[in-house]
Amino acid sequence: MDAPATTLTDTFGRRHDYLRISLTERCNMRCTYCMPEEGIPLRPREQFMRQQEVLAIAEVFTGLGVRKVRLTGGEPLVRNDAEAIVRGLARLPVELAITTNGVLVDRFIPAFHAAGLRKVNVSLDSLRPERVAAITRRDHYQQVMGNIELLHREGFDLKVNVVLLRGVNDDEIGDFVQWGADHGVPVRFIEFMPFDGNRWNMERTVPQAEVLRKLRERFGEDALQTVPGEAHDTARHYRLRGATATFGIIASVSNPFCDTCNRLRLTADGKLKNCLFAGAETDLLTAHRRGEDIAPLILRSVLHKARRRGGMEDLEQLSDPAQHGANRAMVAIGG
């Protein structure tokens, strides 16, 4: 019997039916906003969820009302059993999606088709190869662009994610919107967010209002059309007049979507985070290995979810390193 839609409801009435599962902390890139320059310590494999543990824990979430699962990393496709996990999750009553850096995705096209995985988000932070190399500390531009084209040809529901960094790639905002319109690919701009080791400060964040101002200056005051979104969208959607592809802005810092958040996160080592910004975690993997029922732990975590940004209500709190520094590096949370 399906769980009632209200099962995973917090004290603010938000219903949670979307789970993001990180498959690994490992990655074949070293993006400056995601991973500390020195990397993160490698840990023994036994500290992370095994294939069957991923599937078993995901099944508990579906029993509590989760209806969408997105795989993340690190880079999820570097895990050697990624395809088997996709096949296993496809047997659950969920819509499957994945966020990837795009380097290896061409190897998984048949597996995605077979599993009914249609939604693929690819990270690309510049249209200039030398900038991509500087941001990611790796030279995979041609491979990623080729795989974006491949996904588009294969008919996937594709989005390109761009993390904006002031003084690094914010002069490409208009170029990305034009590129997306020309190629029929939705682009989403993501504000730079604070995590352990990424040297965040507000001055490096390009807020939503500035993105829209830059686009109006380039394309004209009346060139942008607002596009209605879904109830739980993280992005505010727009398109250039006459274009079919949209672009969106995920303004987690300057204009958060917390009031309608329906997302939970499961880290690669089996910890539940009820908010991307929350330092607090619930250890599901240890309890699962002990044979305990993890459903009460999940329900308790959801019930104690803070109203906004893991308890950081305003920009002053968000800017306090003592608060956001308690969180993990982004690569260890899951994109």
State both tokens at 257. Answer: 């979507």
Amino acid found at 94: V
3-state secondary structure of 217: helix
Q: What pTM was estimated for this model as a whole?
A: 0.91
Digit-coded pLDDT (tens) for 235-253: 999 999 999 999 999 988 8
Digit-coded pLDDT (tens) for 157-170: 999 999 999 999 99
Digit-coded pLDDT (tens) for 171-211: 999 999 999 999 999 999 999 877 555 565 777 899 999 99
In angstroms, what is the C-alpha Rg of the chain? 19
pLDDT class of 231 with cuts at 50, 70, 90: confident
State both tokens at 262. Answer: 């329906």
Domains and CATH numbers, the chain: 18-332 (3.20.20.70)
Distances in whole angstroms, Cα of residue 233 to Cα of each of 215, 230, 251, 277: 21, 5, 11, 17
3-state secondary structure of 44: coil
Cα 254 from chain centroid?
Answer: 18
* Closest CA relative to residue 61, chosen from 72, 70, 48: 70
